[in-house]
Structure 1
Amino acid sequence: MHETKSPEPAGATLMFQEAADAGNAVARMLAANAATFAALGARLRAAPPAVVVTCARGSSDHAATFGKYLIETYLGVPVASAAPSVASVYHAPAAAGRALCIAISQSGRSSDLLSTVAAQQAAGGHVVALVNDVESPLAQMADTLVPLSAGVERSVAATKSYIAALAALAALVAAWREDAALQDAVARLPETLAHAWTLDWPEAAAMLRPATNLFVIGRGLGLGIAQEAALKLKETCGLHAEAFSAAEVRHGPMAIVGAGFPILAFATSDRAGDDVRAVAAEFAARGANVALCDAAAVPALHGHPAIEPILMIQRCYRMVDALARARGYDPDAPSHLSKVTITL
């Protein structure tokens, strides 16, 4: 496998370097797991689960949101996010049944995640672990291990491991459904991610530099990246960012959107993206400051609707890194945070 290397500016942060490496990380992940995805897809077609349960926190949980929309949209299987405290704090067992448990983690070491996975296994669930640290307890517990193969991330803000998790979920769904178009789009991700990384987003950075708070909008397959972008803006830029579905924001939250209110929006090229574009236009008409990442309008981001969110978050990471530095923050060392968060 040939790895590509993008030119880096002098003094590039670790976050910049690691996000730039996402295409190579995805190439490694796909190469390492080709046989695993094929076998898992065959298993799931032969014995379809009644439900999929995801288990994750932080950025990994935002990847799980993406997975939920993928699985429910392309396969029709309901997906629920497990509340880790149910197992770790309340010690409640999981109901027996034909569940597929997808656990997603960079470190694979949080106690509440491990407790939840153990409860799902005890109930007869098949555990698929998407984990970057293959020596972790989660990796050892997995019935099916999918190493994310992102390599060491030294920046506190996870980037390439998140993108590798999104790609792994897309590859899993493509194999499960035997979807040739999605399989082809996943196979081309290393190349398309490298292209997406070259896309700067200066208008978004300029809009957000003086901001104190904002809404981040997505819908459907794009909701998970809106959640992730909001988290990164909190972590690295000191911004109070809230993520909303374009449908949910039309309820109570939209009441505070007026002149000068910042909106960051992610629109895929499908019908969900149409709704994001519509709400972005509505907010702009009120005088809100809107930065729209529109896959339908940017050739390098436009393609398979299930892949577009992965390309858009790659572009967003570059903008967030630049914004953090412009606001006087070090994106590699956010205040009060460490690389591995242990929750009980």
Structure 2
Amino acid sequence: MTATAAEIASQPDTWQTALGQVDAFRDALAAPGERVLAIGCGTSAFVAQSYAKLREEAGVGETDAAYASELPAGRRYDRVVAITRSGSTTEILTALRALPAGTRRVVVTAVDGEAVDALADERLVLGFADEASVVQTRFPTTVLAGARAALGHPHGQLIHDGRSAVAMPLPADPSAFDHFVFLGTGWTVGLAHEAALKVREAAQAWSESYPAMDFRHGPVAVATARSLVWVFGSVPEGITETAAGAGATVHHEPSRDPLAQLVLAQRLALELARSRGLDPDHPRLLTRSVVLAP
């Protein structure tokens, strides 16, 4: 078993730990009444998108999400939540330094003693979800598991569905496809983006991701019998029929918790990497943290 595979399999356990720390998540991420910006890079940017949607749906305050390298211009926030597994990513550090005085800087990380510590007013350190792998899996899903609980989002099936997703057969043989499309709605759009990134990172394969309704606005044009269209959560009527009508194979399991569905997508990416003779523990051109020369 690769390190990445072992970390994927451990996710129900790290989620359970996060649920036991819900008060810490609530203090860092709920902040009722505050205007919040969530930032990240790569996987963490997709977590920021999902968290922002969850927070707004919970009704606790306006919440934006942005890539750390693309902060909204001219907007002020009470709190900026920076999601950074390593605590050393250059764009995160630059963004936090650029915030105006009076902005509360909250950092969600997996590591103590990194450069981001000096820039944080408050830290949520999830050392139990840290990873040896370059490709992130359990850290981002653990952040979202804790955030959902803190914001009162339904998650009653999470652990059960997660354990099932670790053990069950994959819903499709990824080697039968050369095109992967992931769709979501609401907070699961971020999960769709993350699933597509896992396929690119681990397996160097062609993957795309969109809000489900946007699939018909162009992306469907390239769907064929060699396409797998994977849908997170519930989607508007007609989306799966559109994909199937284009010849694609559709995977849609709305009864399974979306984070558990992401576990299956992570496993799919690893199996595709294996079928291509690739080592997901050593993805091409990638490092655990992007640290740029000053």
Fold match, TM over 0.5?
yes
- Does structure 1 residue 285 correspond to structure 2 residue 269? no
Task: Look up the equivalent residue of 2:24 and give its one-letter code.
Answer: T
Provide the residue aligned with 2:126 in structure 1: 148
Secondary structure (helix, strand or coil) at the match of 1:274 reads coil
Cα separation, 1, equivalents of 2:201 and 2:92: 22
Cα offset, 1:86, TM superposition = 5.2
Larger helix percent: 1
Asked whether the 8 Å contact 2:68–2:91 carries over to 1, the reply is yes
Provide the residue aligned with 2:275 in structure 1: 326
Give the TM-score taking structure 2 as reference length: 0.88
Provide the residue aligned with 1:103 in structure 2: 82
Provide the residue aligned with 1:29 in structure 2: 18
User: Where does structure 2 lack aligned partners over 5 or more consecutive residues?
Assistant: none
Provide the residue aligned with 1:267 in structure 2: 232
Cα separation, 2, equivalents of 1:150 and 1:293: 31
Cα separation, 2, equivalents of 1:246 and 1:191: 26
Q: CA 1:40–1:336 in structure 2 vs 1: closer, same or farther (change >3 Å)? A: closer
Provide the residue aligned with 1:44 in structure 2: 31
Question: How many residue pairs align between the two structures?
Answer: 293
Cα offset, 1:321, TM superposition = 1.6
Cα offset, 1:262, TM superposition = 0.6
Cα separation, 1, equivalents of 2:143 and 2:158: 13
Asked whether the 8 Å contact 1:148–1:168 carries over to 2, the reply is no
Cα separation, 1, equivalents of 2:251 and 2:169: 13
Task: Look up the equivalent residue of 2:170 and give its one-letter code.
Answer: W
Cα separation, 1, equivalents of 2:26 and 2:201: 37
Match for 1:314 among 230, 246, 263? 263
Q: CA 1:193–1:99 in structure 2 vs 1: closer, same or farther (change >3 Å)? A: same
Cα offset, 1:109, TM superposition = 0.6
Provide the residue aligned with 1:20 in structure 2: 9
Provide the residue aligned with 1:64 in structure 2: 48
Provide the residue aligned with 1:162 in structure 2: 140
Q: CA 1:39–1:278 in structure 2 vs 1: closer, same or farther (change >3 Å)? A: same
Cα offset, 1:17, TM superposition = 0.5
- Runs of 4+ with >6 A deviation: none
Matched residues, percent identical? 23
Q: CA 1:246–1:167 in structure 2 vs 1: closer, same or farther (change >3 Å)? A: same
Give the TM-score taking structure 1 as reference length: 0.76
Larger Rg: 1
Q: CA 1:318–1:256 in structure 2 vs 1: closer, same or farther (change >3 Å)? A: closer
- Does structure 1 residue 198 correspond to structure 2 residue 176? no
Asked whether the 8 Å contact 1:246–1:279 carries over to 2, the reply is yes
User: Where does structure 1 lack aligned partners over 5 or more consecutive residues?
Assistant: 1-11, 175-180, 302-307
Secondary structure (helix, strand or coil) at the match of 2:69 reads helix
